Amino acid sequence: MSGELETVSDIESLRECIRGWRSAGKRIGFVPTMGNLHQGHLALVREAQRKSDRCVVSLFVNPMQFGAGEDYDSYPRTLEQDRAKLQDAGVELLFTPSVSAIYPVGEDQQTRVEVPGISHILCGASRPRHFVGVATIVCKFFNLVQPDLAVFGEKDYQQLIVIRRMVADLAIPVDILGLSTVREADGLAKSSRNGYLSADERALAPKLYETLRLTAEALAAGDRDIEQLEAKGLERLRTAGFRPDYFAIRRAHDLAPATRQDHALVILAAAYLGTTRLIDNLNAAEQHI
Ligand code: PAF
């Protein structure tokens, strides 16, 4: 039986609630989201609840992490459904700030957090401001919520690595937990953006994960020609009807280019179906390489 979900939009009410819990010695778990919650988000919530006494979820479509011409305006906003899901899940606090509460001096004048290097490769190469926007908002939320731990999905693998680096570099006292990607029955990673796909695109979409798996199998079978495996992955995606952005095999811990000697690897891909950009990844270490 879950208690009442409290929803706050202003920073003072959030801080007051957190102060009460802190002085009562409660351990606080945090799940930042942009809403339109699906099973993947709810798995993050369950993990936060398992590891803490009180769970805070934020719901904020962060303009700073969207580039010009991206889907900020059309990003699905489903507050009432999201609230109902979090209430059912037994979450204690939902934080839904406005853009002006988060960026009172305006987005352009806002102090930013940049994790150099890894913010500008892979997804960061085609979305140059994206990870600055992510690091800035996550850092700000950590200062507001002051959680003991925060849970992120491994589906956004590069985001997870950027956040781990930010937390280490700035000595932010928050444990960062990564949780395995939740998938549809046909393998497609759950994502709010799957809702943009037409029926035909939705039928093709699982080929992204299939291509990652075929590459992981080749690695597991001893194929170490990284360049050729990447080229094959790109070609498979094109043949399946995608417009790939990248298909890369990287070192799992820092996303540096993999060499034949590396064993803990992650295969990452981003590809368009029509106008929808899908991302996915597969940790090749899990494939017993
Ligand atoms: O993964 C997301 O939904 C967002 O990038 C996050 C972490 C909530 C920051 O806006």
In tens, the pLDDT along 247-284 reads 999 999 999 999 888 989 999 999 999 999 999 999 98
Catalytic residues: 41
Model pLDDT, residue 120 = 97
CATH number for the domain that contains residue 131:
3.40.50.620
pLDDT for position 4: 92
**Has residue 112 been placed in a domain?**
yes
The structure tokens 């009172």 sit at 104
Q: Among 156, 179, 202, give the residue marking a domain's end.
A: 179
Ligand 1 atom index nearest CA of 192: 3
Same domain for 35 and 79?
Answer: yes
Q: What is the mean pLDDT of residues 65-74?
A: 96
Q: What is the pTM of this model?
A: 0.97
Residue 186 lies in a domain: no
Q: How far is the CA of 131 from the centre of ligand 1 (A)?
A: 10
- Each residue's pLDDT tens digit, 177-196: 999 999 999 999 999 999 99
Span 37-56, mean pLDDT? 98
Name the domain count of the chain: 2
The predicted model gives 153-158 an average pLDDT of 98
Q: Which amino acids bring their CB within 6 angstroms of ligand 1?
A: 32-34, 62, 65, 134, 137-138, 156, 159
* Closest atom of ligand 1 relative to the 60 alpha carbon: 10
Is there a single domain that holds both residue 216 and residue 151? no
Task: Give the domain extent around 175.
Answer: 8-179
Identify the pLDDT of residue 3.
84
Do 277 and 140 lie in a common domain?
A: no
CA distances from 101 to 8, 88, 109 (A): 12, 27, 14
Coil/strand/helix, residue 247: strand
Q: How far is the CA of 15 from the centre of ligand 1 (A)?
A: 21
Ligand 1: centre distance to CA 227 (Å): 31
In the chain, % of residues over pLDDT 70: 98
Mean pLDDT calculated for residue range 25-47: 98
In this predicted structure, what is the pLDDT of residue 223?
A: 93
Query: Which ligand 1 atom sits nearest the alpha carbon of residue 138?
Result: 9
Residue 285: per-residue pLDDT? 67
| Closest protein CA for atom 1 of ligand 1 | 33
- Which of 155, 179, 203 is the last residue in one of the domains? 179
Question: Where does the pLDDT of residue 1 fall: very low under 50, low under 70, confident under 90, or very high at 90 and above?
Answer: very low
Closest C-alpha residue for ligand 1 atom 6:
33
For residues 136 and 201, membership in a common domain is answered with no
Let me know whether 154 and 30 are in one domain.
yes
E strands, the chain, where?
Answer: 6-8, 28-33, 54-59, 93-95, 149-153, 175-179, 243-251, 265-273, 276-283
Does 184 map to a domain? no
All residues at 6 or more sequence positions from 270 whose CB lies less than 8 Å from its CB, including other chains: 122, 123, 126, 244, 245, 246, 277, 278, 279
Residues 173, 213, single domain; the answer is no
For ligand 1, the distance from its centroid to the CA atom of residue 161, given in whole angstroms, is 13
Residue 65 alpha carbon, nearest atom of ligand 1: 10
44 CA to centre of ligand 1 in angstroms:
12
Residue 47 lies in a domain: yes
What is the average pLDDT across 96-118? 98
Give the mutation target among 34, 115, 177, 281 for probing the ligand 1 site: most ligand atoms within 8 A of CB: 34
Residue 223: DSSP 8-state:
-
pLDDT band at 203 (very low <50, low <70, confident <90, very high): very high
According to the model, what pLDDT value does residue 160 have? 98
Give nearest CA residue, ligand 1 atom 2: 33
pLDDT for residue 172 is more than 60: yes
Instruction: Report the percent of the chain where pLDDT is more than 90.
Output: 95
